[in-house]
Amino acid sequence: MTVLVFLDHEGGVIRQASRSAIAAANRLGDVDVLVTGPDAAAAAKSAAAIPGVKKVLQVTDTTGSSELAEPVAALLAQLADGYTHILATSSATAKNVLPRAAALLDVQPIPDIVAINDADTFVRPIYAGSALATVKSADAKKVITVRASSFEPVAAEGGNAVIEDVALPAGPGGSTFVSTELSKSERPELESARVVVSGGNGMQNEENFKLLEPLADRLGAAIGASRAAVDKGFVSNEYQVGQTGKIVAPELYIAMGISGAIQHLAGMKDSKVIVAVNKDPEAPIFQVADYGIVGDLFTILPQLEAELDKAG
């Protein structure tokens, strides 16, 4: 079995999430990868260095059409012949392209898998992670996106794959790329951040909530909030982590002054490591935290920053 992984990259650097997709693909068979978009040549070089990758297919394109779903989906469908599985990490790009490719192949895609049982059987969250469904595909080919947080990424260096050029097929032509604007914020996006620092009721007010910013800056973290903090107006709605807010699964989630209502836990319990600081030792957040400190967060917060500074 040979698997094709569609890689996401940023300015030629392969995203770690894509290396998680390669890790998942390694479980299924030999791995070829496809890189597209501007800086595809640089990305192809980085991809070739990833251990376990047999072949890198690169699309060099300067017209912007590799930013569009139509030609890329058509290309994937063309390339599909030689592969049993087509994989990508669950990014906005992959979610735009892969289902379209699946339709061209008459295949029902399997998005967001978190586990591989065998070549046909996969586990994926449904209802925003409130349940896990194990599904078996009857399709001859599988088109899959992978939840990066569930697969340990492969190393970035050590491999030496061959690089081949492939050309984009002419798409339906109805779609034109106009522009891309990346948001200016220095902080990563809540949903894709590696570290999230969240504040709750215990932050007391809007002013105090800002005290989380230096910690987040040090850790390169996104800032989140519990529903209580949003309800009380400490921060706006878009910060809310929880069942009715954003669902996050960072490597490190730091909950400051969050009691841990079920609705909040539903939005962050898939984080790899959870840290909780709360003055109430009975707070339910401690039931899910890997590391907890019982105490006044306004005392602990500056200590934490100092310790991080000390450690460099």
124, 135 Cβ separation under 8 angstroms? yes
236 burial (CB, 10 Å; 0-12 / 13-18 / 19+) is exposed
In whole angstroms, give the CA distance from residue 146 to residue 18: 9
Which region, judged by CB under 8 A, interacts with another protein, from 46-54, 66-74, 155-163, 205-213? Answer: 66-74
Taking alpha carbons only, the member of 148, 127, 162 closest to residue 57 is 162
| 109 lies in the binding site for another protein (CB under 8 A) | yes
Q: Which residues from 232-271 bind another protein, rule CB under 8 A? A: 243-244, 251-252, 259, 261-263, 266, 269-270
Lay out the site mask for another protein across 12-51 (x = CB under 8 A, - = otherwise).
----------------------------------------
Which of 3, 23, 25, 195 touches another protein by CB under 8 A?
195
Retrieve residue 285's tokens.
């957040």
Contacts of 201 (CB under 8 A, 6+ apart): 226, 228, 229, 232, 257, 258, 259
Q: Which is nearer to another protein, 30 or 204 (CB)?
A: 204
Q: How many residues bind another protein (CB under 8 A)?
A: 94
148, 17 Cβ separation under 8 angstroms? yes
Which region, judged by CB under 8 A, interacts with another protein, from 36-44, 45-53, 99-107, 154-162? Answer: 99-107
Smallest gap from residue 54 Cβ to another protein (A): 27
Q: Which is nearer to another protein, 28 or 48 (CB)?
A: 28
Taking alpha carbons only, the member of 308, 206, 191, 306 closest to residue 253 is 191
| 92 lies in the binding site for another protein (CB under 8 A) | yes
| 213 lies in the binding site for another protein (CB under 8 A) | no
| 101 lies in the binding site for another protein (CB under 8 A) | yes
